[in-house]
Amino acid sequence: MLSAEAQSTGVRVPFARLDFDDPELLEELMGAVRQVAERGAFTLGDQVEELERELAAYCETDFAVGVASGTSALELALRALEVGPGDQVIVPTNSFIATAEAVSAAGATPLLVDVDPDTHLIDAEIVAAALTPRVRCVIPVHLFGATVEMGPIVELAREAGIHVVEDACQAHGARHHGARVGSLGQIGCFSFYPTKNLGAWGDAGAVVTSSPRLAERVRLLRAHGERPRYRHRVVGATARLDALQAAVLRRKLRRLDTWNRRRRELGAALRRRLCDGEAIDLPATGPERIADHVYHLFVVRCAQRDALRAHLAGRGVASAIHYPTPIHLTEAYAHLGLPAGSLPVSEMLAEQICSLPLFPGMTDEELRQVAQAALAFAKAPAPADVDLAG
Ligand SMILES: Cc1ncc(COP(=O)(O)O)c(C=O)c1O
């Protein structure tokens, strides 16, 4: 049931809005899709090549290679680096499961580690403590649009002789001490899942790198190891980027910085408004970190998370949990034998985190509604008076 306030204002804040809510953008994207359909070239081709050039320039790398999804990007990056059976790859357990799945798909084993309680991300100390002779690679995940402190990890990796593959699937366009994420390790991986900061109209992804050898290797692997047609040099995959997705992404890439600016503006405004609510912990702090953040998600921490979500729902404000189960406690990774209690920070986060609505098309009125609803709870946390279906 909605509260009297939500009923009287009639404002409902969704968790996100997709492209059909912007008629001008929708029209432009429909035109781009029509052009591809009329030419009938649906896999790879000039739209994909153009996107690859534009994305590489945007990420300040020499190459970008379009692939079928973020998960494919990670898997092919690892395979290009010849990480496989018998190898371990360090992965934060506080991530979307795809980061670990890609390691498994490459034939290697994810070595799941905990995260820092303030940033919710991995750092060099955590990586150093996890190193074993079998570790060949680490995957720092720029989760929620916040950037991992990369310098010390890259240095440690160099000393230890292991690779660094960035999972930038939630941080398109973020800068880390001035450099674009994705350009800081050997390979950066992006997902263009529709709700991402740069989202396609279906599944899509890309790797970026400044190594010609790795770019070429991913190009081979994404299309049956084939070059030229029907000469199969390695065992590859069907992991090409569709031309339709590339055509959509090219138009949206031109708007990404504007959208990220709006995300930052909304993130800063929410932080300001929520800072005096004691029951809610705001996302990682520190001036540099805030400046880098592209707010894919605005994730707060609250000991009474379920009551907070019920309170928000009662005021017409959607919310979500990213993610309810750390990777090591999923059924899929039970075989790793990491019991509850083994990675305690991530386990605590899974019980306490709550993502509030934040998307570029959010109006100031919607922002006010989210902030007011969350602050009302933060100042006077109370047992839930409404249920989440309200
Ligand atoms: C952190 C992270 N890694 C990897 C992925 C996988 O991307 P995709 O869903 O495009 O395979 C996602 C996307 O959902 C993600 O959020």
Stretch among 110-124, 270-284, 357-371 having the lowest mean pLDDT: 270-284
Strands 135-138 and 88-92: parallel
Query: Which pLDDT tens digit goes with each residue over 127-182?
Result: 999 999 999 999 999 999 999 999 999 999 999 999 999 999 999 999 998 999 99
Residue 239 CA to ligand 1 centre (angstroms) = 15
Which residue among 89, 104, 143, 170 is best mutated to probe the pocket of ligand 1, counting the most ligand atoms within 8 A of its Cβ?
170
Q: Which atom of ligand 1 is nearest to the CA of 141?
A: 1
pLDDT > 90? residue 2 = no
Q: Please tell me if the CB atom of residue 61 comes closer than 6 angstroms to any atom of ligand 1.
A: no
Report d(CA 128, CA 160) in Å as an integer. 9
| Atom in ligand 1 nearest the alpha carbon of residue 192 | 10
C-beta separation of 83 from 137 below 8 A: yes
Question: pTM of the entire structure?
Answer: 0.94
Hey, is 243 helix, strand or coil?
A: helix
* pLDDT bucket at 6, cuts 50 / 70 / 90: low
Query: Cα of 71 to ligand 1 centre, how many Å?
Result: 6
Mode of pairing for the β-strands spanning 135-138 and 109-113 = unpaired
Other Cβ atoms closer than 10 A to 258: 10
Question: Which of 308, 292, 291 shows the shortest CA–CA distance to 355?
Answer: 308
d(CA 149, CA 179): 12
Distances (CA, A) of 274 to 103, 119, 354, 372, 373: 38, 18, 14, 9, 10
Residue 136: which residues within 8 A CB-CB, separation 6 or more?
Answer: 81, 83, 87, 88, 89, 108, 162, 163
Angle at 152 between CA 151 and CA 155, to 5 degrees: 90
Split at pLDDT 50, 70, 90, the class of 7 is low
pLDDT score recorded for residue 94: 98
Q: Is the pLDDT of residue 386 over 90?
A: no
Is pLDDT above 90 for 260? yes
- Residue whose CB lies within 8 A of the most ligand 1 atoms, among 94, 166, 191, for a mutation test: 191
Is residue 170 within 6 Å of ligand 1 at its C-beta? yes
Q: Which domains does the chain have, with CATH numbers?
A: 4-13+256-379 (3.90.1150.10), 23-253 (3.40.640.10)
CA angle 198, 204, 208 (to 5 degrees): 75
Is residue 389's pLDDT more than 50? no
Q: Could you tell me which residue, 309 or 9, shows the higher pLDDT?
A: 309
Residue where the block lists tokens 């912007």 = 22
Give yes or no for residue 205 CB within 6 A of ligand 1.
yes
pLDDT value of residue 387: 42
